[in-house]
Structure 1
Amino acid sequence: MNAILRLIFPATPSGAGTSWLLLAARIVFGTLMMTHGIAKWQHFATLSATFPDPLGLGSRTSLVLAIFAEVVCALGFITGTLYRLALVPMIFTMCVAFFSVHGGDPFAAREPAMLYLTVFVLLWIAGPGRYAADNLIARRLNR
């Protein structure tokens, strides 16, 4: 259990310079991801009938899951709240977009999903840095 908690809530945050860079990346890429999710949310009624259903869950359910990953999880990613857990649905969504939804498209159409996927995986590995809500949680857990 301790290993899982250390993975989710790192006890030793990165240095200040690295942490500022990680914060900037979280804000930029999280906000960009949220714009996709908010657009889906705003057009929910129209999209729910035609949204791709690569997992066989139904268009409406697939759309709800995409919105969850792109809005709710992106918010957690930006603030550094349950950072690595928030990244899992975002990474999964980009894998589905790249390999399944746009799998037959030319690479130029698949490229945005690959860029997000790469950034999210690298940031999952790097951790949230010092300036994340998870560090407050980690400090309380370590007391």
Structure 2
Amino acid sequence: MNRLNSDLGWLVLRVSTALMMLLAHGWGKLANFTTLLTKFPDPIRLGVPFSLTATVFAEVFCQAFIIIGFKTRWFAAISAVTMLVAAFVIHGNDPFASKEKALLYAVIYIAIFFSNGGKYSVKA
């Protein structure tokens, strides 16, 4: 495989993953922020407002930066940690099938972290 194909592969993986996270998970939390303040989990025991704000930051704002490739390693790391908390704390006692989606996202974010977003990114 040539370098162009590899760089395009990282671009597709980075953008599609971040868009799916933002649209399928983050946007709803942002749009319903005040409603969720009464029922959102507090997995790290820092209060519901902090947990919800941190999750929205990871699932919306970090994804926007991952899409453009700005500080990709930092934002992919934050996203991976968020997904690991979802898998092992929020769904800690659930069957593997309940953890699988969060773990899959975490693995992809870890791969994006090591790739630094690929060639087609802002890289700042």
Corresponding residue SS for 1:128: coil
Structure showing greater relative contact order (alpha-carbon pairs closer than 8 Å, 6 or more residues apart): 1
Among 59, 84, 89, which residue is 1:70 paired with? 59
Among 15, 18, 21, which residue is 1:33 paired with? 21
One-letter code aligned to 2:67 = I
Tell me the alpha carbon deviations over residues 29-64 of structure 1, each in whole angstroms, 9 at most, x when there is no partner.
Answer: 000110211111111121111111011111111001
Bigger Rg, structure 1 or 2: 1
Segments of 4+ in structure 1 off by > 6 A? none
One-letter code aligned to 2:120 = Y
The question of 1:121 aligning with 2:120 is answered: no
One-letter code aligned to 1:75 = A
Tell me the alpha carbon deviations over residues 56-83 of structure 1, each in whole angstroms, 9 at most, x when there is no partner.
Answer: 1111110010000011111111110011
Aligned-pair CA distance for 1:114: 0.6
1:15–1:130 Cα contact (<8 Å) kept: no
Corresponding residue SS for 1:69: helix
In structure 2, what is the Cα distance between the partners aligned to 1:16 and 1:81? 20
One-letter code aligned to 1:15 = R
Which residue matches 2:119? 130
One-letter code aligned to 1:114 = L
In structure 2, what is the Cα distance between the partners aligned to 1:120 and 1:18? 17
Aligned-pair CA distance for 1:126: 2.1
Corresponding residue SS for 2:118: coil
**What percent of counterpart residues are identical?**
34
In structure 2, what is the Cα distance between the partners aligned to 1:80 and 1:16? 17
TM-score, structure 2 as length reference: 0.93
Give 1:103-114 correspondences, 5 Å limit: 103-114=92-103
- Number of aligned pairs? 122
Which runs of 5 or more residues in structure 1 are unaligned?
Answer: 1-13, 138-143
TM-score, structure 1 as length reference: 0.81
Which runs of 5 or more residues in structure 2 are unaligned?
Answer: none
